[in-house]
Chains A and B, each alone.
With several copies, the nearest count.
Chain A
Amino acid sequence: MGKGILVKKIINDPKRVVDESVAGFGLAHADIVRVEMDPIYVVRVDAPVSGKVGIVSGGGSGHEPLHAGYVGFGMLDAAVPGAVFTSPTPDPILAATKAVDGGAGVLHIVKNYTGDVLNFETAADLASAEDITVRAVVINDDVAVKDSLYTAGRRGVGGTVLVEKLAGAAAQRGDSLDDVAEIAERVNANVRSMGLALTPCIVPHAGEPSFTLAEDEIEIGIGIHGEPGRERIKLAPADDLVDRLIDPVLDDLPFAGGERVLLFVNGMGGTPLIELYLAYRRAAEVLQGRNVTISRSLVGNYITSLEMQGMSITVLRLDDEMIELWDAPVQTAALRWGR
């Protein structure tokens, strides 16, 4: 196999995709991040920030801009990219944790997948052994997955981006580790998501799509790893698709009416903005119909599955502090305002 091109992608060698992409990311954003290659992680250019809680997230690659795109002032201190769709090993997580420890402890933001949880756990154990205080928050906002004590539980999906922004802003303003963790937990408790795919995606080393869909089929309840969803339905108008995502999201929390929310319409990587904004229109209509006020919004490809076409809808119930943290300055490759 070696250098052979297996799939139609802008890549050289499937085995070098993550390394080469992260290297390019580092070159393109040298004002914001520094990239370490062995073990591989991406860290704020000014890390460690003395006295500030450090925040580390990470997971399999293929979800860009998550997580490296959120490293910078007001958000993450470091991101640890694993192989495509494969959680990183403890070594780089530990290295990143040490690199961002400014003496106030480090928060791990972990998406709820067995691999991510186990590898971050090991890294946290190793960091504690080196006298770094680590707390972990596990994100599990995907309502497509039936939750139970006896299963792996819900996946972490779109809500992760919001947790990273709000926890990042809390750390930036100087909150303690416990306070930052509390914000992250609070956001996680108030956020729900669900997604669908129009097309599958192809993992570079696999060379074949993770599932196949007929011309008129859609996969509902997908995660972000190209894994199939819960249900397969016939192609339907956009408004119906939006309803199929947002209704379970709103029912789950539940949203009672009268709340203020952040509405996040996310593309899976290959979805053009023209479609996401069209979906946003309907989602806004549904929220209005339920007497929920959209106070903030986010639309774009922010947590993705390679080139998959599809979308997810995330709704976060906001309180005053969350709004303040959302509006706080952020300077990362993928989210930036106020500086």
Chain B
Amino acid sequence: MGLDITWAVDWVRRSADVIAEHRVELIKLDREIGDGDHGENMDRGFQAVLPKLDDLPAGSTPGDVLKLVATTLISTVGGAAGPLYGTAYLKGAVAAGSATSLDGSAIAAVLTAARDGIVLRGKAESGDKTMVDAWTPAAEAADAAASNGSDVAAVLGAAADAAATGSDATIPLVARKGRASYLGERSAGHRDPGAQSSALLLRAAAEAASAAAGA
């Protein structure tokens, strides 16, 4: 069973919830090695998406939802995260195309395209202590799971697990990109806020998929 528009909309709603819930935590992480606005920025962005979901025309696809998220984040988030997440969702939307339902390998392709978009815009490599450190293992895990023939919920579950591990792995790193890089060695010992928000968003995707499977 593939993931359709209902899943996509549910993912966005769950994303808005989880970001609102973790707003203060993300602010705190960003205050430690950045400028303390990541939770605020992401919350502003996802709250702006919510009302627009109601205006999606009938017959919209998961790709349309991803595109809506992309344009809304681009025009409301600002900072580094706005364009980076915006590009991620935009490239994901392109990968999703006009399909009404996404199977495991389509989902893996969406995540890989999203990751590539972030790298294209931000030029960060793995280990630079950015959101890439959550997205790269997530895309790879999704790809591996899909190749093994796992169902979509399992594919997204694997991605979410890998993103969480990736977020944890940013803690000891010295930042080489983004605002945290200005701290040099002092950035080590802190979790990257963008990696953490990425892990939260991918967990929301997996939960929405489980809910869809259960329904």
Chains A and B touch (C-beta atoms under 8 A apart):
yes
Query: Which of A113, A205, A229 has its CB near the most chain B CB atoms (within 10 A)?
Result: A205
How many Å from the CB of A13 to the closest CB on chain B?
13
Residues of A198-221 contacting chain B, CB below 8 A: 203, 205-206, 208, 210-211
Count CB-based A-B contacts (< 8 Å).
Answer: 115
Q: Mark A82-98, 1 if CB is under 8 A from B, else 0.
A: 11111111110000000
Looking at B78-86, B145-153, B155-163, the stretch in contact with chain A turns out to be B78-86
Residues of A39-92 contacting chain B, CB below 8 A: 60, 82-91
CB closest residue in chain B, given A226:
B35
B27 interface residue (CB < 8 Å to A): yes
Decide yes or no: A115 and B78 within 8 Å by CB, A83-B44, A122-B83, A150-B176 being known contacts: yes
B76 interface residue (CB < 8 Å to A): yes
CB closest residue in chain A, given B36:
A206
Q: Which of A118, A150, A223 contacts B80 (CB 8 A)?
A: A118
A185 interface residue (CB < 8 Å to B): no
Contacts of A226 in B (CB 8 A): 35-36
Do residues B183 and A115 form an inter-chain contact, with CB atoms below 8 A?
no
Residues of A130-162 contacting chain B, CB below 8 A: 144-146, 150-152, 155
Contacts of A205 in B (CB 8 A): 27, 37, 40
Do residues B80 and A113 form an inter-chain contact, with CB atoms below 8 A?
yes
Do residues A119 and B83 form an inter-chain contact, with CB atoms below 8 A?
yes
Contacts of A145 in B (CB 8 A): 181-182
A29 interface residue (CB < 8 Å to B): no
Interface of A is mostly: loop
Number of interface residues of A (CB under 8 A): 38
Docked Cα-Cα span, A203 to B28, in Å, equals 12
CB closest residue in chain B, given A150:
B176
B52 interface residue (CB < 8 Å to A): no
Contacts of B182 in A (CB 8 A): 144-145, 152, 155, 223, 227, 230
Residues of B77-101 contacting chain A, CB below 8 A: 77-84
Decide yes or no: A86 and B37 within 8 Å by CB, A115-B81, A118-B83, A118-B84 being known contacts: yes
Contacts of A87 in B (CB 8 A): 78-80, 82
A114 interface residue (CB < 8 Å to B): yes
Do residues A89 and B74 form an inter-chain contact, with CB atoms below 8 A?
yes
Do residues A83 and B37 form an inter-chain contact, with CB atoms below 8 A?
yes
A260 interface residue (CB < 8 Å to B): no
Decide yes or no: A151 and B177 within 8 Å by CB, A83-B44, A89-B76 being known contacts: yes
Interface size class of B (residues with CB under 8 A): 20 to 34
Contacts of B79 in A (CB 8 A): 60, 82, 86-87, 115, 119
Do residues A115 and B40 form an inter-chain contact, with CB atoms below 8 A?
no
Q: Which of A114, A155, A210 contacts B31 (CB 8 A)?
A: A210
Docked Cα-Cα span, A114 to B35, in Å, equals 13
A108 interface residue (CB < 8 Å to B): no
Q: Which of B35, B75, B178, B186 contacts A89 (CB 8 A)?
A: B75
Q: Which of A114, A115, A146, A223 contacts B184 (CB 8 A)?
A: A146
Do residues B80 and A114 form an inter-chain contact, with CB atoms below 8 A?
yes
Q: Which of B33, B41, B74, B121 contacts A86 (CB 8 A)?
A: B41
Do residues A230 and B35 form an inter-chain contact, with CB atoms below 8 A?
no
Decide yes or no: A86 and B178 within 8 Å by CB, A206-B31, A206-B36 being known contacts: no
B63 interface residue (CB < 8 Å to A): no
Do residues B186 and A230 form an inter-chain contact, with CB atoms below 8 A?
yes
Contacts of B184 in A (CB 8 A): 146, 230
Docked Cα-Cα span, A132 to B184, in Å, equals 39
Q: Mark B24-55, 1 if CB is under 8 A from A, else 0.
A: 00010001011111001100100000000000
Q: Which residues of B approach A to under 8 Å, CB–CB?
A: 27, 31, 33-37, 40-41, 44, 74-84, 121-122, 176-179, 181-184, 186
- Beyond A87-B78, A228-B183, 7 additional contacts (C-beta under 8 Å) are A83-B78, A86-B37, A87-B80, A89-B74, A152-B176, A206-B31, A230-B186
4 pairs of A and B residues whose beta carbons are closest in the complex = A118-B83, A225-B35, A115-B79, A115-B80
